Amino acid sequence: MKRIYDQHVSLFLVAGCPNECDFCLAGAGPTKKSFMSLGDVERILSDHPGTWREVSLGGGEPALHPDVDGVILGCRDWGWDVLLHTNDLDLSRRAVGMFTGRGGMNSLSITVSFNDRIVTDTEGLVGLRKYIEGLGDPRIDLYVNVFDNPHNNDLIDMGFRPGSIVKVPKYALGRAAGMTDAVMVPTNGMSGHIYTTDLVKFPVTDYVAACEHQMSLD
């Protein structure tokens, strides 16, 4: 069963991304270079004590961070569950390996081909799903965004359902379907904050303002 967190922190870990999608609320793109250091991440998380804590690592594309593996492992070692937003299947597989055996509830959220702007490796995506299923670890969730995907027919054949966020069967309840997945609305008394790449702090309910600020960064 998915944990009810008393603390959630969402980090724009990097400003850059190989893609330049017009739907990206953070305005990420290939010319943007700024990122949080591992020390930045540690200092932010140390300011948010709690019993059950989740950190969302996004951007931008976290795979572009020069020490993304160190960030993921650091978050786990500091007692945080990790929700990783990435379109990089190699990073996804490495992250699953880092999640395994470390306890907690950890999640991958992968976006596949909004408006044909992000290339979809359907075989790799299915391979990742089978890899996670093979681990038999109920503490690892996989969410797949397949909206407006030109490869929908292939994905349907492979067991993914278009127009929603799909998770690996057997695992904990997924997040709300649709673009609202990105809006971290606090529930059950959860405290939440968002930090942009330049370390500016926003309440989790001010997601749009945080995105507008992030969009202005290089």
- What is the predicted pLDDT for the residue at 170? 24
Q: What percent of the chain has pLDDT over 90?
A: 28
Task: Answer whether residue 96 is part of any domain.
Answer: yes
* Bond prior to 59 in cis (omega within 30° of 0): no
Task: Answer whether residue 48 is part of any domain.
Answer: yes
Torsion sign over Cα 155, 159, 164, 165: negative
Domain containing residue 180: 7-215
Task: Answer whether residue 78 is part of any domain.
Answer: yes
Total domains present in the chain: 1
- Residue 45 sits in a domain whose CATH number is 3.20.20
Q: Is 71 exposed, middle or buried (0-12, 13-18, 19+ CB in 10 A)?
A: buried
| In the predicted structure, residue 52 carries a pLDDT above the cut 90 | no
Task: Answer whether residue 1 is part of any domain.
Answer: no
Read off the pLDDT of residues 169-216 as tens digits, 9 standing for 90 and up: 322 223 333 333 333 344 444 468 999 999 999 988 788 889 889 999
Task: Answer whether residue 2 is part of any domain.
Answer: no
